[in-house]
Structure 1
């Protein structure tokens, strides 16, 4: 049994459509609302099937404990299959949910239960206190019941910076390209819908997930990624096509940092929590850590590459001639113990892949120059990945002193993107940085997710004992820039999927950039006798364009093969039959030029196709397709 417990101001739902396994319900169950309630999302699992009574009883015991903690006797039971990938049969699920409802009513709780097997819209408002988002895994064995508390306040390692962040007073403004600094209530958001959503998200800090975003279904249907039930929440499995996309983005970002002169390094995954230097840094970084114990040491899993790179910098001999000095590491993985109610799909994870570049600069002038250069690099990197300026909103955060001394520089950043940005201003510095920006993607759920970021760090050179020798032979402390050109790689894929979904709703055919598409060209033979010719065509395309080509040799109709290629967002689909064999030309469906239900079919020569594909993928990393060229030889992952 998996349960997610949300202490809510209210929850309301409405059934929309029944599924084949839907329970029969009366009209009064088609809608429901409760206020001042503990909402319990429930997934009944296969392991519960022969233990319904005990599973229901133990689940009720856990619900009772939480109701006592949050002081409510009102419970909404909501079946929620997304909590598990090992679900029970529908019959068992309905029986178990009804048993939980019955036991709660016997215990004098006011209970409502949303119906099983129906598509439902729902709205929930989480109260947001420390116990308002909890989850439990309930395992019933032959002799005992094991309860896994996924969020345990007593065991959580929380940095002083995170505590300070909760107490910090933020002053929010909108800064326009003309340099006008306005309070949000003074700004006209007409034509800036996403900025308005971003401002609301940041000011109200509602991170909890109340709906499953569209990318979750897409990442599974496209066989890119999925939840891993054998790991902690927020740790994903990546299938071959998803791993391919990840590795291409990783290689691209590392190449862009190399062009800037960054040296790639590799550092450990875990560090001593009581190391004097690291302990101080932990308390200045606003993140929750995973902690483990080994050899009587308390260790933490890194949440960025800062630790290893800074310890390396400390041991280096650095001259002013070496500055700015840049180092980069692609962390696979970084770990942050995000709160369970915030975890969903690829948007917010506990283990993620992060390109992390640090630049040592001789003074603030050089630091701001590098900041501006990296700001522009981040815009370019996201654009090449497929996330354009119009797709994200900018946040710039700084102290009041820094703004007053560097106002023209900050306005220049806004002019670069040529649109208003959100400003967060602090009277005093709570963290190690004085200036920071993020590019934030706003998804279909109106949630914001930070992608690229750069920070100017004014503390850690002193803390880690990092120094350089200036032209007079004196030792100096550098300023340090922290830069992630793309943000987490998983989050880039999330943004691409969410963008594709929103494009689809606007009548735009969804697709990935061609260089990132797992299959770039699919060749479809009209019949078995055209298979050899299809293989020849595929081989020529692969060699001459250096792209990923596959062949749909399955015993399906041509129409189904074409539809399946479309469902996989294949950029180029080539159909070859007797006519193509005889004429030597090919018919190509070009996805980027197609409309829904109106494919763009173009007759061309193979040479024309080579040139078209090469133009799209030139300058980007290339990797072979990880799956067999023929679809009939491929396994299914989902």
Structure 2
């Protein structure tokens, strides 16, 4: 992109004749005059945009920063964006040019600038008076790829890395894909293998959970933010916080110490700069005074925990040492890969790091954390049938630890996907993931653990061994659940697939925003409901007091996936009972209040609890969607 800045006393222009690519304007004969403006003549060039919007996004952000930077330097508050093809002989297509110009206009306005955009595709007459001070005429060139060259050598290495896929069965036999016999129970494993081997990450169809997250008022896109940054409604926030509470309890119960570290770090720190360059992720950069990246938003909690560990005095007696953070993280994923809750740019990642004395202790911890991850996913709502296991390692590691790998597969209790690298390109020698395969055959990693053999040296992390000598620990990276938002995505996709198989879709009882809904048949039954509510303390109960028929109220409760729906009429009041529709079994049972409370309480025992996120009475609620 070519930019020519003119700081003007005024610019006046008038659209005269349209070209074949002209945009529609309301009043073509009107003369437009803007006083005291920074006029930005713009030529969008080939390569500034592509079909996935990854280039155009970068160009828009960089160009917007340039405009704001120049405006601040010259003291301009008004911006005029003026398409000017004569600045370049290598123009982008009209469609991409229009998209980029409009996106710049939106971003500048969102940053508080007063913006006027001259119409695209018109021959225009214009008059401009330049102020004539030293900064009144400036030019800039936005070149795609300058930041990408800096971004991630590891990503390039990953793309070039040579690896082979195998399957390993419960007997520990390594089987080539061409020789593996997929059984009826291996349908998801087959889809997972195809997803991994084809390496197609772009979204070509909207997954079912997107409609569900909106209809159930869990989450939605936030159009005023960057793509991949979501808004969570009260029901969704409750689900998210409950999973966070559970993971925190599970990890601290396992012996981890919880910490908090900054969201942003300096790109100039030598350890961080090297780690950024080696890690396959895209960063959100914060520009400094020289208009170059100064800070970046963290894409994991590694930086903070490693820097903290470097400053600690650690004895071998304290190992293995576990640090944990529930980390808000940011990754500039490609727009074409963003969808719903599956892949985001801002997400919540439970991140635990374990310092180990040596590889022997690291392997012991790895196995323990492998089993911890299985328990965590089970408690959230996933059986081993709901995810596929991938174990990845180098050939050298496999030759040295064959029996260990076989033991991991035995614990999984089913065939797993193996990826075998010829050599190590990354900081880890072994990792596993538990991968959820959704209704469209797309796979997403949930739990993961990695054995890191580089970062102790990179960050200067040391411990004192039994002989008083300094040693570098082996580090395990563990996310016991994966991103919290991704767990929510997987739960919704799982419910959709259950529905396709004829099972009522629902969330686990402990995560259901409303666990029990009470429906009075008539006004006279409200007093009975008020009387029994105290006995249902510790359960998320709401009351459908709307002026609707009982059948409609029951249907609406079904659309909300409410696990227990209690209908109360004259018979129930007289007998002191509740007529309960149980979603999981599709049965109707009459039970007394204590029995109902006990049944729900036993089902959610040991899980975190939070109060109802919305008003008790449905008549007092607002609609967040639609």
TM-score band by shorter chain is 0.7 to 0.9
Matches of 2:153 and 2:527, distance apart in 1: 66
Deviation at 1:433, TM superposition (A): 0.3
Deviation at 1:66, TM superposition (A): 7.0
Kindly name which structure, 1 or 2, has the bigger radius of gyration based on alpha carbons: 2
SS at the partner of 1:283?
Answer: helix
Match runs of 1:183-194 below 5 Å: 183-191=176-184, 192-194=186-188
Matches of 1:222 and 1:512, distance apart in 2: 11
Structure 2 equivalent of residue 411 of structure 1: 406
Equivalent residue for 2:362, pick from 361, 367, 370: 367
Residue by residue over 1:207-252, the C-alpha shift from the partner in whole angstroms, topping out at 9 and shown as x without a partner, is: 0001000000000000000000010011100001100000000010
Segment of structure 1 superposing worse, 432-441 or 171-180: 171-180
Deviation at 1:282, TM superposition (A): 1.3
Match runs of 1:250-265 below 5 Å: 250-265=244-259
Is 1:504 matched with 2:533? Answer: no
Structure 2 equivalent of residue 520 of structure 1: 515
Structure 1 equivalent of residue 452 of structure 2: 457
Is 1:319 matched with 2:315? Answer: yes
Deviation at 1:388, TM superposition (A): 1.2
Residue by residue over 1:551-571, the C-alpha shift from the partner in whole angstroms, topping out at 9 and shown as x without a partner, is: 111111111111111111111
SS at the partner of 1:425?
Answer: strand
Is 1:170 matched with 2:163? Answer: yes
Structure 1 equivalent of residue 282 of structure 2: 288
Equivalent residue for 2:610, pick from 619, 623, 635: 623
Equivalent residue for 1:328, pick from 324, 327, 330: 324
Residue by residue over 1:184-228, the C-alpha shift from the partner in whole angstroms, topping out at 9 and shown as x without a partner, is: 111111221111111111111000001000000000000000000
Matches of 1:63 and 1:566, distance apart in 2: 52
**In 2, are the aligned partners of 1:523 and 1:538 still within 8 Å (CA)?**
no
Structure 2 equivalent of residue 158 of structure 1: 151
Deviation at 1:387, TM superposition (A): 1.3
Residue by residue over 1:573-611, the C-alpha shift from the partner in whole angstroms, topping out at 9 and shown as x without a partner, is: 1111111111111111111111xxxxx110111111111
Matches of 2:188 and 2:223, distance apart in 1: 34
Match runs of 1:36-435 below 5 Å: 138=103, 142-144=116-118, 153-156=145-148, 158-191=151-184, 192-294=186-288, 298-331=294-327, 333-435=328-430
Is 1:539 matched with 2:526? Answer: no
In structure 2, relative to structure 1, the CA distance for the partners of 1:152 and 1:488 (3 Å cut) is: farther
Equivalent residue for 1:610, pick from 593, 597, 600: 597
Deviation at 1:137, TM superposition (A): 5.7
Matches of 2:533 and 2:44, distance apart in 1: 58
5+ residue gaps, structure 1, are 1-47, 54-60, 71-108, 112-130, 595-599
**In 2, are the aligned partners of 1:215 and 1:497 still within 8 Å (CA)?**
yes
Matches of 2:50 and 2:419, distance apart in 1: 35
Deviation at 1:144, TM superposition (A): 3.3
**In 1, are the aligned partners of 2:498 and 2:504 still within 8 Å (CA)?**
yes
Matches of 2:367 and 2:24, distance apart in 1: 59
Matches of 2:433 and 2:585, distance apart in 1: 33
In structure 2, relative to structure 1, the CA distance for the partners of 1:265 and 1:555 (3 Å cut) is: same
Matches of 1:62 and 1:539, distance apart in 2: 68
**In 1, are the aligned partners of 2:48 and 2:144 still within 8 Å (CA)?**
no
Matches of 2:198 and 2:549, distance apart in 1: 53
Deviation at 1:280, TM superposition (A): 1.3
Matches of 2:552 and 2:43, distance apart in 1: 49
Is 1:591 matched with 2:586? Answer: no
Equivalent residue for 1:550, pick from 527, 542, 546: 542
Structure 2 equivalent of residue 6 of structure 1: none
Deviation at 1:171, TM superposition (A): 1.0
**In 1, are the aligned partners of 2:47 and 2:144 still within 8 Å (CA)?**
no
**In 1, are the aligned partners of 2:535 and 2:594 still within 8 Å (CA)?**
no
Matches of 1:395 and 1:153, distance apart in 2: 33
| RMSD of Structure 2 on Structure 1 (CA) | 2.7
SS at the partner of 1:589?
Answer: strand
Matches of 1:580 and 1:204, distance apart in 2: 59
In structure 2, relative to structure 1, the CA distance for the partners of 1:69 and 1:206 (3 Å cut) is: closer
Deviation at 1:535, TM superposition (A): 2.3
In structure 2, relative to structure 1, the CA distance for the partners of 1:578 and 1:67 (3 Å cut) is: same
Matches of 1:206 and 1:52, distance apart in 2: 46
**In 1, are the aligned partners of 2:450 and 2:478 still within 8 Å (CA)?**
yes
Matches of 1:581 and 1:636, distance apart in 2: 31
Deviation at 1:182, TM superposition (A): 1.3
Matches of 2:49 and 2:554, distance apart in 1: 57
Structure 1 equivalent of residue 14 of structure 2: none
**In 2, are the aligned partners of 1:325 and 1:361 still within 8 Å (CA)?**
yes
Deviation at 1:158, TM superposition (A): 2.4
